[in-house]
Structure 1
């Protein structure tokens, strides 16, 4: 008998393992990034570092890239969440909490996101 497959083509149990591994990876990365933020806050002045960053061309490019990523994440969340209040709950903090916040959304929604994207 052939194994049951998901719409993505993966066998169901293997797909579950891959999903859990991706969720774990995102959680580890989010925690590591949150730790880096805490370290940076404890180490120095954000206003001095921010002033230096925006005075440099590559710093400006980095910030533009960061906020472009925030907009892309917000669009994915906007189209994915079915209730306005839930979408706004996840979107509005993004400019302040950054990709740690979007990582939490992806960790929670990854299985459902995959399910919706692989439907035929």
Structure 2
């Protein structure tokens, strides 16, 4: 579980840095329209949001409270895998080495 925590922490750090870089050095609307003007940019966005949706299904499955699940899912759709990495890191810590608790959450 230590390796999983390290990978999740590195994901949080990498995504935080990438988002700060993007928002301080780029133009969200201009750059976003350039991405969507490229066919492979569209493919990348569809791929990303399919992944966000599948990960969000796991969040909805394992969370006990609907409001908590909705908040995490909204954050996933807005902040991407910064949210996913943070969610994984938090629940790896909370599960205290119990992989069943990690994967199943409230359904354990």
Q: TM-score range by the shorter chain?
A: 0.7 to 0.9
1:42 aligns with 2:24: yes
Residues 86-120 of structure 1, C-alpha deviations (whole Å, 9 max, x = no match): 212211221111110111111112364722459xx
* Corresponding residue of 1:114: 99
TM-score, normalised with respect to structure 2: 0.82
1:81 aligns with 2:63: yes
Q: CA offset at residue 85 of structure 1? A: 2.0
CA distance in 2, matches of 1:79, 1:63: 24
CA distance in 1, matches of 2:84, 2:4: 14
For the pair shown, which has the larger CA radius of gyration, 1 or 2? 1
TM-score, normalised with respect to structure 1: 0.74
CA distance in 2, matches of 1:93, 1:29: 16
CA distance in 2, matches of 1:89, 1:95: 10
Residues 71-90 of structure 1, C-alpha deviations (whole Å, 9 max, x = no match): 01110000111221221221
Long gaps (5+) in structure 1: 1-18
CA RMSD of aligned residues (A): 1.9
